[in-house]
Structure 1
Amino acid sequence: MGNFSNHLFAVEFDTFQALVIYGDMYGDINDNHVGIDINTVRSNASKPASYYDNSSKSSHEVVLESGNPIQAWIEYDGAQKIVNVTISPASLPKPSKPLLSLAMDLSPIFKESILKMGSTEADPLDLSKIPSPPRNGTPSPGLGRRGIKIGASSAMVTLALLLCGITISVYMLRRARLAEVLEDWELDVPHRFRYKDLYIATKGFKESQIVGKGGFGSVYKGVLPKTREEVAVKRISHNSKQGVKEFVAEIASLGKLRHRHLVHLQGWCKRNGDLLLVYDYMSNGSLDTFLFQEDKNLDWGQRFRILKEIAAGLLYLHEEWEQVVVHRDVKANNVLLDSNMNARLGDFGLAKLYEHGKNPRTTHVVGTVGYIAPELSLTGKATASSDVFAFGQYY
């Protein structure tokens, strides 16, 4: 219900399924719904957007993002203390059945100065004090029928305007949180994911979704909202030395790699300072957990097969693809295992490309201590041979 001191009442017309907000579970039902919010942005009642057709006596979906005009009725019965929300296409009359009905006394929600309205023909009206409807023709004490009608109408106009302002503000804030501004070069690079989809997939990049730490940031488990496919989303840290140019080069070139023993890079996303890579999800995690944790073991047959599979992947990177790919961070942490314990080499965050027959263009010593070839400290140039040295370290 939220804090009553907030004095907040809103009707949301939401086109985004927020699963978490500020680290807490949020629980929107879908990405096309209407909700009633009391003193919080967590809906007290919500339903998929739809309207009741008086002619066919059935409900029909309303797509809020369609761009078609939609009309809405937000009504509060002060006597029965019920809030009704009704929507329909602008071309149709008001449906006979509301989409949402919530039993709620709104008098504690709004300050007295908001709810009281006056007119020349009626005393000031407090909606919490509206008398019950007369029974069997008995006149209602206090306010006359005409006074009640005028006062209630005035109060509802003010309430409707207030609700519209609150709803628009909440909607704009939530949209701004997931807004994207595309640069020109982004339009030319294929396989781009929407940030909104990755945000939903990872439950707002919740800490509990982290499945590992990559060379430059955290890796999150996610489920794509449309296909329900499990993916791994690598979120490049804000303080990473890997800039936008390196990021673009990686997705443009490494996204073309296809080998059964390499983790497939499905796509990418960039939003402000966030750089995101989307990979196939490997359900059994990384090889290091099987090598160094006592509760997980590999027999010698499995170990030998994993070595052969990673060797095959390195051979593809070094000799069989159109360019030489030097991984530069071959280690047990970057060997990932799928559901059938097949090994794939992943985390190409440090990979550099150079044409066959040419010297490597990088002069920076990068990698993991213990896996770095000795000659790198002298030359500063990673080669296919330095990858083979690192491979031998966990062999």
Structure 2
Amino acid sequence: MSNMGDPKNHIVAIELDTTFDEPLGDINANHVGVDINSLVSDKAEKAGYFNVDGTFKDLLLSSGDSMQVWIEYDSKQKQLNVTLHPVGVPKPKFPLLSVEKDLSPYLLEYMFIGFTSATGALTASHYLLDWKFKMNGTVSDINPSRLPKIPSSDHPESQTLKRILAISLSVSGVTILFALIL
């Protein structure tokens, strides 16, 4: 962690965090954060979404319910929006969190997009079920009926602990769908 904040890192990350790590400034054990060149979030909000009437609805990231996340960056407005909602619910009008920041100093002409996960003391499986990317535009919503089936666990005792979290991310048109089995 000695190079956290180093401008040479060129890292922009969206964290879907189900653990509380006080030294990193986590707000709780169920939040979404924007991390720029650091493990410490520039901004974080408890997981949830704004329904059609603007009311905030909590979501539990480890609930086993399918969820979709859109990550959209408008380079002209210098605004990064992260929107979370259950799969099957239309994309909310208002994002869960919004960060006004010029990301050009952190992004190079050629970059990698990657996925990582950590479970701490828990045992979990993570699946990428759907992912879309588009520059300077938007992507279509996911079709849940076209998603692949998540493999069942080989361990009978884990059946009662099974949790599936499907998440779809959209980064200026990037849509990703994850599944987490605890």
- Give the structure 2 partner of residue 34 of structure 1: 32
Rg larger in 1 or in 2? 1
The secondary structure found in structure 2 opposite 1:51 is: strand
Give 1:79's aligned residue: 76
Inter-partner Cα distance in structure 1 for 2:93 and 2:8: 35
Residue 58 of structure 1 deviates from its aligned partner by 0.5
Matched, 1:96 2:69: no
Q: Give the aligned residue type for 2:105.
A: P
Equivalent residue, structure 2, for 1:110: 107
Counterpart in the other structure of 2:48? 50
Q: Which amino acid aligns with 1:37?
A: D
Per-residue Cα deviation, 1:148-183 (whole angstroms, up to 9, x for no partner): xxxxxxxxxxx8xx1xx2xx41x32xx24x347xxx
**Pick from 2, 10, 17: which aligns with 2:5?**
2
| Identity rate, percent | 42
**AA partner of residue 67 (structure 2):** I
Deviation string 1:207-251 (CA, Å, 9 cap, x unpaired) is xxxxxxxxxxxxxxxxxxxxxxxxxxxxxxxxxxxxxxxxxxxxx
Q: Distance in 1 between matches of 2:7 and 2:94?
A: 29
Q: Residue deviations 1:334-392, cap 9 Å, x none?
A: xxxxxxxxxxxxxxxxxxxxxxxxxxxxxxxxxxxxxxxxxxxxxxxxxxxxxxxxxxx
In the TM superposition, what is the alpha-carbon distance from 1:98 to its structure 2 partner? 0.3
Pick from 65, 70, 73: which aligns with 1:68?
A: 65
1:27-63 Cα offsets, whole Å, 9 max, x none, are 1000000000000111000000010101x32010011
One-letter amino acid of the counterpart of residue 39, structure 2: V
Q: 3-state DSSP class of the match of 1:113?
A: coil
Give the Cα separation in 2 of the matches to 1:109 and 1:18. Answer: 25
Query: What is the deviation of 1:92?
Result: 0.4
How far has the Cα of 1:19 moved from its partner? 1.1
Residue equivalent to 1:195: none
Give me the whole-angstrom Cα distance separating, in 1, the residues matched to 2:57 and 2:94: 12
Q: Distance in 2 between matches of 1:18 and 1:113?
A: 32
User: Counterpart of 2:12 in structure 1: which amino acid?
Assistant: F
Distance 2:122 2:67 in 1: 24
Distance in 1, matches of 2:25 and 2:109, equals 32
Map 1:297-312; keep pairs closer than 5 Å.
Answer: none
TM-score by length of 2: 0.62
The amino acid of 1:43's aligned partner reads S
**CA shift for structure 1 position 101:** 0.5
* The structure with more strand, counted as a fraction of residues: 2
Aligned length: 120
Give the deviation of 1:91 after TM superposition: 1.2
Task: Give ranges in structure 1 of 5+ residues lacking alignment.
Answer: 21-25, 115-158, 181-395
Deviations 1:292-334 (A, max 9, x none): xxxxxxxxxxxxxxxxxxxxxxxxxxxxxxxxxxxxxxxxxxx
* Structure 2: tracts of 5 or more residues without a match: 124-182
Alpha-carbon distance, 1:106 to partner:
1.0
CA distance in 2 between counterparts of 1:39 and 1:59 reads 29
Question: 4+ residue runs of structure 1 moved beyond 3 angstroms?
Answer: none
Partner SS, residue 4 of structure 1: coil
Higher RCO, Cα 8 Å, sep 6+: 2
Root-mean-square deviation (Å) = 1.6
Name the CA distance, whole Å, in 2 between partners of 1:113 and 1:57: 38
Distance 2:110 2:12 in 1: 15
Alpha-carbon distance change, 109 to 14 in structure 1, aligned in 2, over 3 angstroms: same
What is the aligned partner in structure 2 of residue 13 from structure 1? 16
